[in-house]
Amino acid sequence: MHQESIQYWHNPALSGIELSLANFKQFEFDRHVHLDYHVGVVSSGCQQYTHKGSAYHLGPGLISTLNPDETHNGQSYTPEGYQVHVMSIPASYIAQIASEVKQAAGFFHRPIVNDPALYRAFLQLHKLLTLPQSNICCLQIETGMMAFTTELFRRHADLPQAFGDTTSPLTQNEMKQVMTMFHDDPGQTFQLQSLASSVGLSKFQFLRRFKQSIGMTPHAYLKRVRLEYAKKALAKGESVADIAHRVGFFDQSHLNKAFKRAYLVTPAHFQRRVL
């Protein structure tokens, strides 16, 4: 583990959200506050910090959830040091989501939570948001961020009832309109805002209602549609590289990985078996 190193990122698809990855061994944070919500996890080692007079230990599997203006410090709990992944979420982002459910902006109940599923989801999202953006779909980024944030607040903040309310699905006409956009041109670069606007909804409303309709996020559905069209094109003998670009994958490697994950074989292997 490298000593005393920190990297920062700003994802262009998520204005105002800051990400960091740090390795600390001897460095200690003095008491301080943040203007934003801070969510962090430790992937190795253990961090200790004091929050409102109580001491906490943040190790793998746990999530640190700090509200704006809450005083805390931080240092390594062991001589070996620790690695920490942090996401800073502007209060305006949380306020926007809260307004969608007609509630005041929420706050976390406690500074540390034990939620293994969300811990894993956070690490996956953090990795996604810090990868080279030329290989990441904007719809995937927006969907992943909004889904994680709303679930985190639903489970561990003071908006459980509002965030847990049953959402009505899209109407048949609304669903048909969105599906037509996906199927007419699966290779198009879709934005969550444009999809939501097409049926007169906010991004948050659209995401919840779409998932309520078919049990998948818009990005997950679109990815599967692209793979299905790729499969049909492979059966016609078209080249893998041409198919990848036409149906919306960044390159052949991107298609290979997604195809094998979905169908357990590579596109080339599938094509050899069906031709």
Note the pLDDT tens digit of each residue in 25-58: 999 999 999 999 999 999 999 999 999 889 999 9
Q: Is 165 a domain residue?
A: no
CATH code of 35's domain = 2.60.120.810
Q: Identify whether residues 20 and 117 lie together within a single domain.
A: yes
Strand order of the sheet with strand 72-76? 29-32, 72-76, 47-51, 54-58
- Shared domain for 18 and 133, answered yes or no, is yes
Asked if residue 144 lies in contact with residue 96, where contact means CB atoms within 8 angstroms, the answer is no
Q: Are 105 and 163 spatial neighbours (Cβ–Cβ below 8 Å)?
A: no
The residue range of the domain holding 183 is 170-275
Residue 17 lies inside a defined structural domain of this protein? yes
* 53 and 101 share one domain: yes
Q: Is 261 exposed, middle or buried (0-12, 13-18, 19+ CB in 10 A)?
A: exposed
130 falls within a domain: yes
Select from 138, 160, 182 the last residue of a domain. 160
Last residue of a domain, one of 118, 139, 160: 160
Predicted local distance difference test score (pLDDT) of residue 205: 87
Contact 159, 105 (CB under 8 A): no
Say yes or no: 272 and 241 in one domain: yes
One domain for residues 22 and 134? yes
Are residues 132 and 184 both part of a single domain?
A: no
147 and 27 belong to one structural domain: yes
**What's residue 39's pLDDT?**
97
Q: Are residues 41 and 115 in the same domain?
A: yes
Residues 47-87 have pLDDT tens digits of 999 998 899 999 999 999 999 999 999 999 999 999 999 99
pLDDT tens track for 122-138:
999 999 999 876 556 88
Number of structural domains (the chain) is 2
User: Are residues 195 and 98 part of one domain?
Assistant: no
Sheet with 82-89: list strands edge to edge. 5-10, 18-24, 82-89, 37-44, 62-66, 112-114
User: Do 145 and 274 reside in the same domain of the chain?
Assistant: no
pTM assigned to the model: 0.82
Whole-number percent of the chain with pLDDT over 90: 69
Mean pLDDT of the chain: 90
* φ and ψ at residue 273, rounded to 5 degrees: -80, -25
Residue that finishes a domain, picked among 117, 142, 160:
160
pLDDT of 162 > 70? The answer is no
* pLDDT at residue number 101: 61
Same domain, 49 and 143: yes
* Domain harbouring 220, CATH code: 1.10.10.60
Residue 177 shares a structural domain with residue 218:
yes
